Structure 1
Amino acid sequence: MTKPTAHWRKRLASQDRPAYLAIADLIAEDLRDGRLAARDRLPTLRELADELQLNYTTVARAYAEARKRGLIDSRAGFGTYVRGKAPALPLRGGSGAEMTMNLPPEPHDEALLARMHDSAADLMAHSDLHALLRYQDFGGTAEDREAGARWLQRRLPQASADRLLVCPGIHSVLTALISQLARPGELLCVDALAYPGLKAIGTQLGVQLHALPLDDDGPDVEAFEHACRTLSPKAVYCNPTLLNPTTATMSRARREALADVALRFSVPIIEDDAYGMLPTERLPPPLAVLAPDLTYYVTGFSKCLGAGLRSAYVLAPHARLAQRLAGALRATTVMASPLTNALVTRWVNDGTADAVLEAIRTACRERHALALQHLGPWGVVAHPECFHLWLPLQGAWSVVECASYLRTQGVAVVASAAFSTDGNPPDAVRICLGGPASLDDCDRALRLVAETLDHPLHPHATVM
C-alpha cells in the first residue's frame, strides 16, 4: 500500500459513514495534519480500489467528492494530485485578499501616519467649522483651486485656477462630462479595454461606446479617424498613463497622432489621468498639452493618496467651459465636500500629499518585485510604480473560471470581460496589488495565484 494511503484502510474499517465520504474526509484530515501536501500524487482509481479493497465506483465517487471540496485535481495524462486548501487572506474590513477594486497600498509608516493625523488635526483646530459645513459654490474655494493648479502644474505647466474645478471624485466628473458632450444614442470613442465605470456611465446615460483597437502604443489612430469620418463621435475618452487594466502608457507619437485627428475633426478629448502622478520617469506630454483647446484633463487623489479621498480636479480647455461644466456637475452632485476639499488643499500645500505619494510609490515597487517573482514566468504585465497588473491566461483555465476559483480561495481578481468595450476580451485578468493589507498578505496572495496557474483545478471545484 502506498505511503499516503497506508492508514486509510484501517480507518475506513472503523467508519460508519459511506466509504466515498470517509475517503474525502481522510484526504482533508491528512492535509490538515501534514501527512499530505499540495502537489502530492495520489493512486489511480484502480490502484486505490485494490489497496482499500473497495469497488471502483466507490473510489471514483470518493475522488469526485474530494474534487468538489477543492482538495484534489484529476487530469488526463497527469493523474490525480493533491490541490489542498488555501487559508483565507485578511482583507481591509473583509474576509479575503481584495484584488478587484483598484486602490493604492497603504504605507505602514508610523511617522507618515502621525504627520497625516497632525496635519488633519491642525486643520480642524484652526478652520471655521461652520463655513465648512455650509453649501458652497461648485468648484471649490479660491484656495482649493489654486492648490489644484499647483498640483497639476507638474504635468501641465499652463494649468490655471480659473479653468479648474474641484470635484467629488473622477467618476462624477466623467458622468457630468459625458452627459454634457453626448446625448442618448450618440457616440463616444473609447479604448477596447477601459475603466469599467465608464461602461456603467454609458449605459446609464444611453451613450454608445465605440471601441478603438489597442496595441502597445495606445488606441488605433486610423480606427479613430475612420470613426470621426463616418460616425461623428461626440468625444474620445482615453486613460493614457498606466492604462486600467493593462498598465500600458500611450507613446508620445501615438498621443500626437490622436491629438492631430481630434483637432482636425474638432472632437473633444476626455483625458482620464488617474494614475499620471505615480510614475517617476519622464512621461510623454498629456493630451491637454498637445490639444489644449479640446481636452478636459481629469485626475484625482483616490489613486495616489487613498481610495476614500473622493476629491478630483478637472481642467477645462477654457474658463467659460469650466463654468459650463460646473453647471452639469452641480446638477448631478450638488458640490464636493468642503471638508474633504480643505483636507486635500492642506495636504497639497504643506507637502503631506507628496510624502504620501512617495510612500505609495515605494510600496508599489515592493509589491511589483513580488509580482515578478511569483508571476514573471506567466508573462505578467506590470509597472514598478503601478498597483495593478495584467495577467494573461493560458491553458486549461477559462478567464471566468480562474477568477471565480481564486475568489473561493480568498483572492479576488477581475476577469477581462469587465473592461472590454468591443465584446472580445482577451484571456487575462487584472490583479490589484494594493488590496492586501500588508506586504506579507500580498506575497501570500500572489503565491496562491502562481500555484493555481501551475496546477489548475477542476473548473467546477469549490472549497468547503
Structure 2
Amino acid sequence: MTKWTPELEKTGRPKFRLLADAIERDVYAGTLNPGDRLPTHRDLADDLKMNVSTITRGYAEAEKRGLVCSTVGRGTFIAPDATTSTPMVSFEPHARGMIEMGLVNTFYDLDPDLNEAMQRLTRRRNLNTFLRYTDPQGLPEHRETGAEWIGRYGMEVEPDDVLICSGAQHALSCCLGSLFRAGDRIAADSLTYPGMKTLASMLGIKLIPVQMDEQGMIPEALDTACRRGKINGIYLMPGVQNPTTACMSLQRRIEIAHTAGIHGLTLIEDDAYALTKENVLPPVSSFLRESSVHIAGVSKTVAVGLRVAFMSAKGEMKKQLAYAILNSIWVTPPINAELICNWIKDGTAQKTMLLKRAAARERFAAVRDMTENMELCGNPDGFFAWLKLPEPWRGNMLERRAREAGINIFAAEKFAVGDCPVPPMIRLSLSGPRDITQLRQGLERLKNIIENQ
C-alpha cells in the first residue's frame, strides 16, 4: 500500500471533489503511479480527519474520471491507463510526417469504386425511396442481405432477426444503452477494445476484467468473476481479439457460452476482425441465441465510410435494440445500406475482403521479418500485430518516445481494464502506414528506439 496523504485545496468546493482533484494532480505529477494501491477508506479518513463516507465518495469520483479502479477484497488502485489517452482517435491533428501505426485503417486504396456504384444506383427508377423514413430495423431487402453477410461469420439467422446499424460502434451504443443501465457490470477481456471502454464509462457501466490466455477469455476466470459479484453481461471478440489477436477454439467458445448461460449474462459479440481469418468458427452467440447480440460489421473488410453494420438478436432483445436505433438516429441511411448490400450481392465485398487480406499478409510478413528477435503475435492476414517489448520497456514508455520520433503506436495500457496487470506490449497497426515502405520506416525507427533505450 502506498503511503499517501494528499494536500487538499482550501476552497469551498465539496471535500470529496477536492480529494478526487488531489488524486488527479498527483497522478499527473508522478507522485502516484499506475498500479499504486491507495490507502484504505478508513486509514485515509483518519489521516485527513474526515468521514469515511467522504473518502468513499472521493474515490468514486476519481473512478468516474478513470483515475482509479477498485476491487472488492483487494482495495483501490491507480488505474493502469490513468495517464493514457483511451480514445482511439485524437481530435488534435498529427504532427507533419507522423507515421500512423496506432489507428487501424482499412487499406483505403483497395476500397470498392464508389463512382461506379453510384452510377449503377442512379439507374434505379425509385431512387428517391431512399430519402424517406423507413423501419428503424432497416428495409426488408437489406435485412435479407444482412442475414447472408452474418452467415459468413458461421451463424445462420433469419432476416427478421437482423437490424441495420450505422457501424459497429453505433451497434455497441445501442446494446449498452438499451440492454443495460448505469451501474451494471459487464465482463470483458482484461485487455479490450478502447471504444468499448470509453462507451461504457460514458454510460456509467463498469467493465470487469477477466483473465485471458492465448485463446482469449478463460471460462473458469469468468465463472470466478461472476461468483464474486453480480455481473450483467459479457463483451467478446473471439475471432481476432483486439488487441492481443487471440482466437478462441470451438471448444473454448462452447465453454464460454455455457458459463455465460449459467450466470444469466447478456452476450455482446463484436467480431470486427473475424473475416480477416481464413477459417471462421461459429460465433459464441450461436450457442446462446436467446440472450446474445451478434455484430457483423463491414467497415474493416469492405468500406468504413458508409457506416453500416448488421446486428442480430431475438425476441424482446431485438425489440429493445430497434427502439435504441430509433431513439439514436431513427434509421441507418438506406442509401448507404443499399450500396453495401449491392456490393455483397454482386461479389464486390468478397473480392475487396480478399484483396485487403492479401495486402495485410504482405505487411505482416514484413513485420515478422523485422522483429525476428522479438515475440510477435498476430493473424497472418490481420490488420494489426501484438508485440512484446524487451526489458526495461513498458508500452506507455515506448508510446511516448515513439511519438517524439514521429510514430503513433498504441501501448497495452490503452486497452487495460480495471486493475489487471498490464504486459509490456504494444499494438502495431499494419494498415495505418500509407504503404509497405512507410511501414518499414516506422519499424526501423521503433527498433532503433528500443535497442538504444
Task: Quickly name the TM-score band, shorter chain normalised.
Answer: 0.7 to 0.9
Find the aligned partners of 1:191 and 1:382 in 2 and give their Cα distance.
17
Query: Which residue, out of 311, 315, 318, partners 2:312?
Result: 315
Query: Which residue, out of 365, 369, 373, partners 1:369?
Result: 365
Secondary structure of 1:247's partner?
coil
Query: Which residue, out of 219, 222, 225, partners 2:223?
Result: 225
Alignment of 1:66-85 (within 5 A): none
Task: Give the letter for the 2:370 counterpart.
Answer: H
Aligned residue in 2 for 1:344: 340
1:421 and 1:252, CA in 2 relative to 1: closer, same or farther beyond 3 A?
A: same
Deviation at 1:359, TM superposition (A): 0.4
Deviation at 1:385, TM superposition (A): 0.8
| 1:413 aligned onto 2:409 | yes
Query: Which residue, out of 298, 302, 326, partners 1:301?
Result: 298
Aligned residue in 2 for 1:98: 100
Find the aligned partners of 1:200 and 1:451 in 2 and give their Cα distance.
33
| 1:455 aligned onto 2:452 | yes
Alignment of 1:22-421 (within 5 A): 95-107=97-109, 116-126=114-124, 128-280=126-278, 282-316=279-313, 318-421=314-417
Q: State which drifts further: 419-428 or 446-455.
A: 446-455
Structure 2 gaps of 5+ residues are: 1-92
Secondary structure of 1:454's partner?
helix
Deviation at 1:444, TM superposition (A): 1.7
Find the aligned partners of 2:101 and 2:119 in 1 and give their Cα distance.
32
1:94 and 1:314, CA in 2 relative to 1: closer, same or farther beyond 3 A?
A: farther
Q: Once the two structures are superposed, what CA deviation does each residue of 1:64-106 show, in whole Å capped at 9, x if it has no partner?
A: xxxxxxxxxxxxxxxxxxxxxxxxxxx9996422122222223
Q: Once the two structures are superposed, what CA deviation does each residue of 1:315-345 show, in whole Å capped at 9, x if it has no partner?
A: 10x2443222110122123221222111101
Q: State which drifts further: 148-157 or 351-360.
A: 148-157
Q: Once the two structures are superposed, what CA deviation does each residue of 1:31-79 show, in whole Å capped at 9, x if it has no partner?
A: xxxxxxxxxxxxxxxxxxxxxxxxxxxxxxxxxxxxxxxxxxxxxxxxx
Secondary structure of 1:184's partner?
coil
Task: Give the letter for the 2:444 counterpart.
Answer: R
1:206 and 1:157, CA in 2 relative to 1: closer, same or farther beyond 3 A?
A: closer
Deviation at 1:173, TM superposition (A): 1.1
1:206 and 1:401, CA in 2 relative to 1: closer, same or farther beyond 3 A?
A: same
Find the aligned partners of 1:267 and 1:454 in 2 and give their Cα distance.
46
Q: State which drifts further: 427-436 or 262-271.
A: 262-271
Secondary structure of 1:308's partner?
coil
Secondary structure of 1:376's partner?
coil
1:310 and 1:174, CA in 2 relative to 1: closer, same or farther beyond 3 A?
A: same
Q: State which drifts further: 429-438 or 419-428.
A: 419-428
Does the CA contact (< 8 Å) of 1:105 and 1:360 recur in 2?
A: yes
Secondary structure of 1:377's partner?
coil
Structure 1 gaps of 5+ residues are: 1-90, 457-464
Structure 1 or 2, whichever has the larger Rg, is 1
Deviation at 1:264, TM superposition (A): 1.8
Find the aligned partners of 1:160 and 1:427 in 2 and give their Cα distance.
44
Aligned residue in 2 for 1:445: 442
TM-score in terms of structure 2 length:
0.75
TM-score in terms of structure 1 length:
0.74
Q: Once the two structures are superposed, what CA deviation does each residue of 1:231-256 show, in whole Å capped at 9, x if it has no partner?
A: 22111111111111011111222211
What is the number of residues matched between the two proteins?
A: 360
Q: State which drifts further: 348-357 or 329-338.
A: 329-338
